[in-house]
Amino acid sequence: MTDVNTGAAQLLVGRRILVTGGARGLGLAFARHFCEAGAAVAIADIRAELVQGAAQSLRASGFTAHALVADLSDPASIERCAGEAVAALGGLDGLVNNAAVTDSGGKKGDDISVETWDRVMNVNVRGTWLMSRACHAALAASGRGAIVNLASDTALWGAPNLMAYVASKGAVISLTRALAREYGADGITVNAIAPGLVLVEATEYVPESRHRLYIEQRALQREQVPADVTGVALFALSDLSRFVTGQLLPVNGGFVFN
């Protein structure tokens, strides 16, 4: 398989980027790829010990990485995280709103509790909005601010037995377009990426039948790995995409088309 990260070196030199949900999986893959492209990163996660270890692993590779603890369901925690990221990095050029919860996986819509629905919406949608708002001033001050929101291709095909998550990611897509309109005056681009089913820790619960469905129905018939997604995020944060905003970029091997 071709290494999609080849050629990414130097695209983000001097960039300061905050990645939420960065302690493992796709979030950590984002952070490492950005570092390899020359950025300094702050990674935030609710799991304190895990995020500290993740940042240490990046520093051991010679990169600049800071660990922050953030609970995306708590507005005060979000404000604190954004302030700490700006202080640690000396400013902010990019924000990747990657943190999310699934919680409703494997349940039909009629069986999801109101509490579960509210938690998914609070973390995935409200958390994305509040983190973007908390970082707005710093991103505007950078002169090259960019936000990348993680949506999901489940919102494009209406994946069953995942209703709260699907609805939340559909909202993230709409939120992205609204933020792009509002933040454009400050020179901030706002785009969304919609990955397919990626092989990471967070998707280990997904039934084998769903994995097979994705592979068999993709135009590119293989499993999706983090490296398939990270290059698109790097593009959206770099000078290559300074006139691209409000867009949804599906990255799913052709399982669904936008």
Active site residues per annotation:
165
CA dist., res. 100 & res. 114, Å (int): 18
CA dist., res. 3 & res. 156, Å (int): 27
The burial class, CB within 10 Å (0-12 / 13-18 / 19+), for 117 is middle
Cα angle, residue 32 at apex, residues 44 and 81 outer, rounded to 5°: 15
